[in-house]
Amino acid sequence: MIDPRILREDPDRVRASQERRGASSDVVDRALSADSARRAAIADFEAKRAEQKQMGKKVAQAKGEEKQQLLAEVKDLAAAVKQAEAAQGVAEEEWKKALKAIPNLADDAPAGGEDDFVLIEKVGKPRDFEAEGFEPRDHVELGKLLGAIDLERGAKVSGSRFYFLTGVGAELEFALINLAMEQAREAGFTQVIAPALVRPEAMEGTGFLDQVDDGVYKIEDDDLYLVGTSEVPMAAYHSDEILDPDTLPRRYAAFSSCFRKEAGSAGKDTKGIIRVHQFEKVEMFVYTTVEESYAEHQRLLEWEKAFLDKLELAYQVIDVAAGDLGPSALRKFDCEAWIPTQGKYRELTSASNCTTFQARRLDIRARTENGTTPVATLNGTLTAITRAIVAVLETHQQADGSVRVPKALQKWLGREVLEPIQK
């Protein structure tokens, strides 16, 4: 959640952020009203409690009929105190609910929706297949030629948007994971294998609980959720903890399977493995101070670019518009790789600065000279396997259906070229 002091002291800043997101500012007014009601409820309860204490002293000193009369008044007052305490509890919950309805402050993100991103840079040049004298195959056809992707049996076994990676397809996944983990280790990240199932508190703390109907799978009987990214378990990893500031930044590179309903993507990317229900990913996650989070955000982006450079891909970097941000992100940079058969750039990685939004919900703080303060959290995709496979196969294909292996992957795949197994 946002810092409540900002809401109280500068509500127009919060309203401006909502406007940048293309969202209603009514949440601001509701939160301010809930805060006023909460403060009034606290004052009422404390006044009645103080009166109750004073009455208790009088009873102790009274005698006879006066004491009996005071005892009757004490009984009525006790009931009023209990009622005021209950009202305070309700007001507190309404305040928390109203505050949590406000997304992070997108002060620096471009205003607008999905199409209003700002292009930061383009890296590399898309291949000119026409000049090379052949028409590129898409990753589905290449996957069949290489014996790497089996969509038909994926659909037979599990339904639409599922797949098998076989042969060099499976090898390519492991090679991408190994390359990502090698880079993370060399950059000082702690490697993690994260759980793919989490409790509701972790989902709520990261701001994903509101997406349950659209994108998240829930295991009803066990009250657990399948994660769509290891950002969720990694954000909750230090929940309810006070961190030593000397240990910051804490950088983790977490591998997990990811699950997404893709409920809002009917008709989109139904062919192939760009938009699927299950995939593996290596996610960078960082705990640091708010002051350092902005520089750390840039570092995450540079690590993502370094990985795409190792895959020898053409890509662009965009500053995502406020209306396309999730509720927890203050700002997000996407790296989008050129997909030859689609003739456009597609998202491969994202890097988000969530400042204290998640840490406040999950009660993650650092000890300072002036007490404790919420830390900042950041996340960045090092590699999302299926989309990386799509980009690598389509970018590095050759006229005969073989695929040249980027140099950085060759030691993990043990070959320089992936050869077709069927014509």
Catalytic site residues?
A: 260, 275, 347, 350, 387
CA 384 remoteness from chain centre: 14
SS3 track for 147-184: CCEEHHHHHHHHCCCCCEECCHHHHHHHHHHHHHHHHH
Cα–Cα distance, 413 to 401 (Å, whole number): 18
Report how far apart, in Å, the C-alpha atoms of 418 and of each of 37, 172, 200, 332, 400 are: 66, 10, 43, 35, 11
Exposure pattern of 157-173 as b/e (b: 16+ CB <10 Å)? Answer: eeeebbbbbebbbebbb
Report how far apart, in Å, the C-alpha atoms of 345 and of each of 120, 121, 209, 283 are: 14, 13, 29, 21
Specify which residues 404 forms β-bridges with. 417
Specify which residues 252 forms β-bridges with. 190, 285
The backbone region for 252, taken as left when phi is positive above 0, alpha when psi lies in -120 to 50, beta otherwise, is beta
Residue type, 421: I
* Helix intervals (H) in 62-137: 64-100, 129-132
- CA-based torsion, 28, 33, 35, 38: positive or negative: negative
Specify which residues 336 forms β-bridges with. 316, 347
Encoded tokens for 367: 């000890």
CA geometry: angle 177, 257, 144, nearest 5 deg: 70
**Closest to 375 measured CA to CA, from 393, 388, 357, 390:** 357
First to last CA, the chain: 56
